[in-house]
Amino acid sequence: MNTLPPKWADRFLRWYCNPDLLEEIQGDAHELYFERLTNEGKRSADLKYMWDVLRFFRWSNIRRRENEFAPGSGGALWNLNFKMTVRSASRNKLIFVVKILSLSACLGFALLLTAYVVNELTFDQFHVNHDRIYRISSRVSFQDHVTHYAVSPLPLGQALLDDIPEIENYFRFMYEDKPIYHLEDKIFYDEVTLAADSNFLNVLTFDFLKGNRHALTGPDKIALTESTAAKFFGDQDPMGKSVVYGQDILLEVAAVIKDVPANSHLKFDALISWETFDRNDGWDNLNAYTYVLLRPGASREEVENKMHSVLQTFHELIVREYKATFQVLFENITSIHFSETLNEDIAEKGNKNSLFILITVAGLFLITGLVNYLNLTLAELNTSLKKIGILRIFGGMVQGHGKILWAETIFTLLIVLPLVVLFCYLGFQLASDYLAIHIDWHIVLHPAFTAVAFGFLAILVASNRVNAYLLSKTSHIMNSLRGKMGTGLRGIYIGKSLVAVQLSFSIIMIALIILIINQFHFIRDANKGFNDKNTVVIKLRRDSFNEVTAFNEAVRKLSGVAGVDGCSYYPEMIETKYVFQVESETGMKQLLVPMMNCGYGYLNALRINVIQGRGFDGSRTEDASHSFIINETAAKTFGWKNAIGKKIQGPVHGSNQLDREGSVVGVVKDFNFASMHSKIEPLIIFLSNEGWGSPFIYIRLNPIRSNNLISLIEKEFKAQWPELPFEWEYLDAKYLSLYEKDFQVKNISEIGLVISILISCLGIFSISALVVTLRTKEMGIRKVVGATPAQLFLLHTKSFLKFLIISVLVAWPVTWYLSDHWLQNFAYHVDITAWYFILPGCIAFAITLVMSGYHGIKSAQVNPVDILKYE
């Protein structure tokens, strides 16, 4: 491992540092670096070393040329300019602090949003051949009902490699979920595991800490990520050590790789070699995730054109056995993150609509920070017009005043840049620790992020030219010397216009936050068709029908348990669809339909309403193998006005073998176990038996219950399965976890709202204070001629309120567009009403009135004698 400080930081230190001080400063910095390297690790030591180098970049430490500051030299003039800048900042401390903090906060937050956006847009680009790697998905059509799977037949990859020259390599894997690992007397059960063939590590690019890309060659091999290896073995070398998978499969650790990057659509903790398991490697096994690597120069279209001949035999089998059509689709690995969620898809998904919102917010924050900085600088400039005019009369040149502005810009950057770096560092840490947003540090070196960061700085530097342009307007300066009323306020008028831009942004942020909060309240309070409150779900590692039945009976007897039974489905698990034959006017028709098997008491336990017919009845023996229940959507999809008594056969296996035959005994109200991003699908429910287990136990608890009820349930669990971990969680918490990405947008927006409102308040407050300073004489004269305090207060505040109206009109269309764009993420959502436009305007009105009203009251209470006696 490299144990030296970052080279570019050392070079930068040697470049700017005075040679007489370099040895001492560099020595101290290196000593601190090696101490941190030992105690805190490489990354922390590097970051703090960079901060030290920036921190030492002081005026007293900078390298100087001989006679650089001789009278009349350029160095002396720039030295004078910087001194004037420092004096101006110390004279107007409030405005200077507001400028620096608001600009730093806006740039820092905009860069954090940029890092998040770049991280999302660069998913899977860390793979060396990402432009040539494609995932193969399956599209199956039954009776005009199309289902798109992320999986494909197990032999597909090898068949394509053998018959299509444009394919260079392939790999496949199967999702093993989170199995149990035994290591001596310890049990681990929270590691996402994939069973992958040997080509997995040849096609995809991961950094190896130990072992190599041949680690998955041969049976009984396992590759661990860095964090998993540390969790399993601590500080010991894991190579060659053994881990027990499940009950009796002994696996040898063959490699340790760095943790999977945050911007990877595949997240895993362990890889088990494909040859460890005996698989049904036939074309009827549609359960593998298959990826292919195209040869350089080969196109996806060339491969797709040859697919039909390769799969002709399989197509004939599908048509003959299932009366369906099958099509494979190619999806570049970098497109998977933003593609639609497919059936049995385990890829981490993003949302382009939410990303568009964040890109807009980042741009608005950049504008807000620059506008606030420019605004306050212009306000300060107007207070100095008379001084600049006098200097101009005595021979001062516009270029000289322009250099003062350049000195102020450089001085601002020297303070702002370290603050921005600090804000970004803290932002990365807080996002990871509290918002569950994980962004790899290497993203700051990505060309897109670097380009945006330098673009921000370029815009900031370019804003200096606006002030220089105003200084070049001799008429403004001469009018200020003549004492013309109101001329000095021209820049303040521009400042208020810029404040209006800030207010528009704040109004947009307020409206978006109100909308997002209301949508989450809608999700929380919406009638999902079942009651998820006070419901505990236990995940079973073994779902033997008799064992589950015995456990349910034991739990049902506990005091405080209102209902208990098993089910095959749980939110966020991979949904599986099966072929069923349903009755139609033309006979039995095959359809691909989601299904669920459960116990007799499941529907009652979750308060799922039966709106037609009846539920499952334990006293009716025919229900065990001949009764079905469907949801409302299924009845509509199947074309049944009266579904009771309609025939259903299935699930259908190969060669048209039927698992069961029966009829519909009940119809339940639609319930949405998936998130509200997607619409409710048809659903067929039948009872669990020895062939169809229930891996999830739903336990409904009484609101009034003993505090140790969960412990009692765990005791019953351990009595039945002493060797298995007790894994449980509340159903309502699990349901909310389906909206993790949406919560991230909500949390980011809330932080942005606080920052935008704070900056708008500071901007209005500062401009209001400068208006009072410039109009003090005018207010005194008006009071002498009879103006009342109320009239003076209204005179001060009405111009701010006028710009507020403009802000509201500008914000409304942007608010509607962004709100409509975000709500498209949800199949079920709130409606956009007039309150989303009126309420933010009212809040902005209150902010404006409070911030400007303070100085309005001060100006109304002015004593004209104290002012006019000096004129």
Mean pLDDT is lowest, of 132-136, 252-256, 477-481, for 477-481
- pLDDT of 270 higher than 70: yes
Comparing 776 with 590, the larger pLDDT belongs to 590
Comparing 89 with 103, the larger pLDDT belongs to 103
Comparing 485 with 561, the larger pLDDT belongs to 561
Which single residue is written with the structure tokens 């964040």? 358
- pLDDT of 90 higher than 80: no
Comparing 481 with 224, the larger pLDDT belongs to 224
pLDDT band at 722 (very low <50, low <70, confident <90, very high): confident
CB 200 within 8 A of CB 219: no
Which phi and psi angles does 247 have, rounded to 5°?
Answer: -95, -40
Q: Which residues contact 786 (CB under 8 A, 6 or more apart)?
A: none
pLDDT in tens, 293-306: 999 988 888 888 88
Please state, for a pLDDT cut of 90, what percent of the chain lies above it. Answer: 22
pLDDT at res. 465? 62
Q: What whole-number distance in Å separates Cα of residue 766 and Cα of residue 498? A: 13
Which single residue is written with the structure tokens 């700051």? 444
pLDDT band at 105 (very low <50, low <70, confident <90, very high): confident
- pLDDT of 225 higher than 90: yes
Q: What whole-number distance in Å separates Cα of residue 384 and Cα of residue 470? A: 12
Task: For residue 277, give Cα distances in angstroms to 195, 198, 210.
Answer: 8, 13, 24
pLDDT band at 493 (very low <50, low <70, confident <90, very high): low
User: For the residues 496-513, what does the mean pLDDT come to?
Assistant: 73
Q: Which residues contact 193 (CB under 8 A, 6 or more apart)?
A: 176, 177, 178, 179, 268, 269, 270, 271, 272
pLDDT at res. 810? 82
pLDDT band at 199 (very low <50, low <70, confident <90, very high): very high
- pLDDT of 510 higher than 50: yes
Query: Degrees (nearest 5) of the Cα angle 844, 845, 850?
Result: 100
pLDDT at res. 367? 76
- pLDDT of 218 higher than 70: yes
Which two three-digit tokens encode residue 70? Answer: 């001789």
E strand or H helix at 595, and its extent? strand 587-598
pLDDT band at 381 (very low <50, low <70, confident <90, very high): low
Look at the pTM and tell me if it is higher than 0.95.
Answer: no
pLDDT at res. 72? 46
- pLDDT of 849 higher than 90: no
Q: What whole-number distance in Å separates Cα of residue 55 and Cα of residue 17? A: 12
pLDDT at res. 491? 45
Comparing 515 with 228, the larger pLDDT belongs to 228
Return the percent helix, strand and coil in the chain, to nearest 5: 55, 15, 30
pLDDT in tens, 416-450: 888 888 888 888 888 877 777 788 778 888 888 88
Q: What whole-number distance in Å separates Cα of residue 252 and Cα of residue 239? A: 8
- pLDDT of 474 higher than 60: no
3-state DSSP call for residue 382?
helix
CB 844 within 8 A of CB 696: no
Q: Which of 138-152, 611-625, 800-814 has the highest mean pLDDT?
A: 611-625
pLDDT band at 217 (very low <50, low <70, confident <90, very high): very high
Which two three-digit tokens encode residue 212? Answer: 């190599």
DSSP assignment of 6-61 equals: PHHHHHHHHHHB-HHHHHHHHHHHHHHHHHHHHHH-HHHHHHHHHHHHHHT--GGG
pLDDT band at 517 (very low <50, low <70, confident <90, very high): confident
3-state DSSP call for residue 262?
coil
Q: 398-434 and 464-471 are packed helices; what angle lies between their axes, rounded to 10 degrees?
A: 150
CB 251 within 8 A of CB 272: yes
Mean pLDDT is lowest, of 588-592, 745-749, 769-773, for 769-773
E strand or H helix at 508, and its extent? helix 490-525
Comparing 404 with 355, the larger pLDDT belongs to 355
Of 484, 585, 605, the residue nearest 535 (C-alpha): 605
Comparing 818 with 320, the larger pLDDT belongs to 818
pLDDT at res. 387? 59
Which single residue is written with the structure tokens 């412990």? 711
User: For the residues 263-290, what does the mean pLDDT come to?
Assistant: 89
Between β-strands 242-245 and 249-257, what pairing exists: parallel, antiparallel or unpaired? antiparallel
Which phi and psi angles does 647 have, rounded to 5°?
Answer: -85, 140
pLDDT at res. 379? 62
Which two three-digit tokens encode residue 790? Answer: 């109320």
CB 127 within 8 A of CB 169: no
Comparing 728 with 75, the larger pLDDT belongs to 728
pLDDT at res. 167? 93
Q: How many residues does the chain have?
A: 871
pLDDT band at 669 (very low <50, low <70, confident <90, very high): very high
pLDDT in tens, 106-117: 888 888 888 888
- pLDDT of 751 higher than 50: yes
User: For the residues 631-651, what does the mean pLDDT come to?
Assistant: 91
CB 238 within 8 A of CB 194: no
pLDDT band at 70 (very low <50, low <70, confident <90, very high): very low
Comparing 281 with 134, the larger pLDDT belongs to 134
Comparing 632 with 454, the larger pLDDT belongs to 632
CB 48 within 8 A of CB 34: no
CB 205 within 8 A of CB 235: no
Residue boundaries of the structural domains of the chain = 1-63, 71-121+351-527+739-871, 130-338, 542-723
Of 683, 379, 317, the residue nearest 530 (C-alpha): 683
